[in-house]
Amino acid sequence: MIREPALHRPHVVLVGGGHSHVQVLRRMMMRPWPEARVTVVLDTPVAVYSGMVPGFVADQYRASELEIDVVPLARLAGAEVVLTPAVGVDPPDRRIRLEERAPLAYDFVSFDIGSTVAGLDLPGVRERARATRPIARLVREIGTLSASFLAHAADRPFEVVVAGGGAGGIELAFTVRERLLAAARRAGVERALRITLLQALPEVLTGFPPSLAVRTRRNAAARDISIRTGAWVAAAEDGGVRLETGEVVPADSLIWAVGAGSLDVFRDSGLPLDEHGFVLTRPTLQTLGDDRIFGVGDCATLEDWPATPKAGVYAVRQGPFIADNLRRVVAGRPLRRYRPQPDFLTLLNLGDGHALGAKWGTSFEGRWVMDLKDRIDRKFMRKFQVLDDGGGTTSEFSRMDRTAMEAMVCGGCAAKAGQTTLDRALGRLRAELGAGSANGSVRLGLDQSDDAAAFATPRGDVVVSSVDWFKAFSGDHWLNGKVAAANALSDLFATGAEPRYAMALVNLPEDETPEAGAETLYQLLAGARSLLDEHGVALLGGHTTVGPELTVGFSVEGHPIGERLLTLDGLEAGDGLYLTKRLGSGVVLRGVMLGQGRGAWLQAATAQMVCPNRKAARAAVGAGLRAATDVTGFGLMNHLAEMLRASGLAAELDVSALPALPGAEELLGSGLRSTAHEANRRIAKAVRIEAEASRHPRLELLFDPQTAGGFLAGVPEARSDDFLGRLRDANVEAVRIGTVVPRLDDGAVATIGCRSS
């Protein structure tokens, strides 16, 4: 049979999750885009909607109400996610440089990365000011302002200086006042407060209708907010802000809300930049220097309209244009031309339920203006917030048909053959053909079910070997490679061996072009090398095939760390059972796959998965332990059962002690399961589950398949202090989840109880 050549699907990369790009993802969700592969590169999974930040400062909104978790939005749109900051772009090579990892290739790329704040390089400003960008950091840090205010001495006013007389600075001056006065009322204390707004230009709100500035001044005076124009800041000092005139304005807190500053991503790209370092774009939103690169929002300056303000309202309006133009450029069709609106509705939150507004050269104010702003902002946010505060799907997205997504099989170690399948095949093999160790050199082989094999060379050296691979769990192939390497190395660490050499085993998707396949292989191996090199493991080569799906793994070899290996059959009654790493990676990855998992949950899971169990293994060998394993695709309960059966013992487990990854309990509680979960749960037939434990929200963690999971060790009481001390010295956390006990009369491998609710 002659295979049809694979069709090239252009790779479109969205760098940043700003106000324009979330609209691209929303449109992809509503109208799928099979003609292209789309990847979103994010420095943080959560984008903050700038329009609602002043309301958050005034305690009118919860933080979650102004946040867009881009990860579930991207997954519902069919886009892959890379959670790593972009640090540069190389147009000739069509690659995006990423922080501490291999560059990412693209066919077309769009940047929506926002901006920083100008003037941070003035003396003392970066160290002493609360800058308004990145917005997420301001949101995280604003709570400390109230604490500083309440801790301030009552004998003089608490001085807040807001630098910047644009819309953002005006709103913050008003809303900070409301926040601090409300904090004092709640605390039942009296504190004097003085707020000063410094504007370098002759008037605040330059470029807005003059009547809006008049209303602003009148409302500021009514609230004892001082506005000083023509005040150029020269430096920030302890206790004050020094102006260029030499005057020092008292400041216990400085909020820096001056104009936008450019980020460094385009600095050495060779692309044309404006005088402030922003990339220049045409009306099609393509950069002047490269038609394959687009720029939207604050990070770009329109060549034909360079005076367009760096304001979120323009990024919102550019969203439909960039969404259309990316599809058009991939299809080779003419692009739409964006022209910034000459006038737009301005709404300024005063923090006390009132707002100022302007449109068509006139201004207005009142509670109704704030009500209007609130309705507009909430309507915008509903389009992009996939998950509610409890982790459930919001009504806007609950009607989506996820049938095709739910049919997808999980990747990672959740794609392993089931424990029952493996036991049956190996049991028959041993019974019919023997264990295969007749030559006498085998130390660990088919007659044991240990994590690795071991054999002695003719010279007497012991070699420990293992092979492990899995179906890719992410479209981020650098991450797939790194996690696969960590997973393979942990098999050797679990036997108390130090890996030295690795060989790659990769199956590339048959529907990829040779060019795309080469890029996938490069990303996989680069990700793996980043971890193998760190651990002194040499990648010697490997084998690559082509098939229906992407799989990646490694054959690894090494040598024992100590005089004896850690084995499954080394448990003794009375041993404490200690587990490193949290459980739940299987259900978290499943949740992310279905657009039901938060970006922060994905970050926590992947951060754990890329850390092999080297430190734990060294601690175990150093403390003289005998029994250990690593927890992977069969889940904690099955891997523990292997140890208990090999040792002829049982265990008592405390379900309340099981450590959980962020989001795992929520997802399991919603009924979500990894596709390997039910197969893993068959072990429950051999386990006693007490009534209280059966109702515990962490019970299902026992059966969740783990990818590159934790180190499980049996620790005699006499050695526990030594082992735990070594773990602490290595900054490795471990929890005691149970105790080894003699074999139970009914043959159950474990009793699962609940020490605390």
DSSP calls for 173-236: HHHHHHHHHHHHHHHT----EEEEEEESSSSSSTTS-HHHHHHHHHHHHHTTEEEEES--EEEE
Amino acid type, 287:
T
Beta strand 158-163 with 193-199: parallel, antiparallel or unpaired?
parallel
Tell which residue, 559, 574, 394, 399, has the closest CA to residue 463: 559
Tokens of 586: 């299987």
413 in catalytic set: yes
Q: Which helix (H) or strand (E) holds 37?
A: strand 37-42
CA angle 483, 484, 487 (to 5 degrees): 85
Tell which residue, 480, 444, 381, has the closest CA to residue 46: 381
Judge whether 741 and 652 are in contact, CB under 8 Å.
yes
Q: Dihedral through CA 556, CA 562, CA 567, CA 571, nearest 10?
A: -150
Place of tokens 């990024």: 315
> CB within 8 A of 592, min separation 6: which ones?
71, 72, 75, 601, 602
- Coil, strand or helix at 737: strand
Q: Dihedral through CA 533, CA 539, CA 540, CA 543, nearest 10?
A: -170
- Coil, strand or helix at 442: strand
Place of tokens 């000083």: 228
Q: 299, 410, 413, 611: which one is catalytic?
A: 413
Let me know if 331 is exposed, middle or buried by CB neighbors in 10 A (0-12, 13-18, 19+): exposed
CA distance 660 to 669: 13
CA distance 466 to 470: 14
Catalytic residues: 413
